[in-house]
A and B are shown apart, each in its own frame.
Chain A
Amino acid sequence: MVNRFSRRHASWRGMALVLVSGLFLAACADNPPPGDPDDTSEGVSTGQGDGSVETREINERGLLGIDEKDRAMFVDPDNPLSTRTIYFEYDSSTIQSRFRDAIQAHAGYLADHPDVQLRLEGHTDERATREYNVALGERRAESVERALSLAGAGSDQLSTLSFGEERPAELGSTEAAYAKNRRVELIYVAR
């Protein structure tokens, strides 16, 4: 079951890489005319298929930097490494204690694998203005970065990126949706 899961991810990864390469090729080959909408900014395509978009996306994007043999740990619900999203209170960047084990586990894994890179992607709910939320998401990402660093991860293994409110995990203007959107995602990026 686990193996099959991993294999599926491996295939998605390959597909994503193909897509990315394709886009790059397209961009290089076809210099767009003025006013043409096509690809003046790099796009990263995500995988396709059934199931929950964001779960699949995190599993896929978030584990690209993990050796295939280790990926099972990151999807085992009993393993604290499977917790790869840290949630926050409204207008707060304080890490709640329930995420302590996960922070410790990821910091430990990073310490054991100095070549592995982790990107912390900050997000907010849709309230307040967009650029302010970019800053708030950055703060959350930095908060997690600091915690991991204190727990043993090398600072050169960590980076942050904030999307603000632009990439909600769940659409809608409800408190439940907001709670799911105030988060930092741990993305193990490919070297």
Chain B
Amino acid sequence: MPKTATSVAELRHLWRDNRGPILWAVGLHLLLILLLVFSIHFGGIVQGGSEQPEVVEAVMVTGAGSPPPRESAPLTDEPPPEPEPETPQQDAEAEAKQQEAEARAEEEAKAQAEAERQAQEEARRKAEAEAEAERRAEAKRKAEEEARRKAEAEAERKAEAEAKRKAEEEAERQAEAEARRKAEAEAERKAEAEARRKAEEEARRKAEAEAKRKAEEEARRKAEAEAEAKRKAEAEARRRREAEAAARRQSVQDALAEESSARQRAANQAAVDEYASLIKNHVESNWRRPAGVEDISCRVRVEQLPGGQIAGYELLGSCGSDAVDLSVEQAIAKSDPLPRPPSREVFQREIIFNFEPD
């Protein structure tokens, strides 16, 4: 995506930096197209009016005889030259002058030869009439010719105009198209730019959001990691204790298992825990903790009989002072008998009491 954005941006830069030359090139191309169109028409006329719609052929024609594009450019701006300079008005003036001279000669002839004049008159009249007729016919032919030519010129002019119009229209159309294309291109560009901007914005936003999320995630992860570490440390200590206890319990169970595999299957940890809890509550209610003594920590090993009667006990080291030792011993003694095991399966002959008050 960034690559595309870059290329579009490059194009935009190209456009901004080379707007003149680009417009110039585009104009030149337009003119060339117009010229081609015009040349085809012109060539067509030159060649006898046959239309040459095929562009490929037109190129060939152009290369053969039409003026170069530069010279032809003004042609698009000026009307084509009148092929015939005469007008009907000039023809009439000349005819009137001739008639005047002829009349003067006739009058002189009259004065010299009346007689003959008559005859000659007649003859002349005839000749004149004939000449006149001939002349008129000629004039008529000429007028007709002229009219025809005029019509043709008109038609040609019209055609040219039409062509020009068409060319203009075409140019306009093309200009429009170009403008539209440009507009579209611009719009597209803009849209692209907008899209790109939006995309960039989106990307940026996303990046920020991502960064933020990551930061939060990191912070959360860290906090969790710390909490986790703490929890783990605590849990570890607890787990270790529990694991040790569990290991011992397991060992007890293993030992039991050796005695009886059936009992091993029946041994249920929950039931053991419940049993341990019963014993714990019983001993705690019988332990009078010496006042004002802190940091009490000691272990007592007790052996019990299946009915809970205490068969013997032993302090595994001192509890910290004689007074605490005594209180712990008395707690054990006062706790005799221990709670009966809820089932034979959970009974354990040996119990280790850890006196670890808060």
Tell me, yes or no, whether A and B come into direct contact in the complex with CB atoms closer than 8 A: no
Task: Please give the residue numbers on chain A whose beta carbons come within 8 Å of chain B beta carbons, in ascending order.
Answer: none
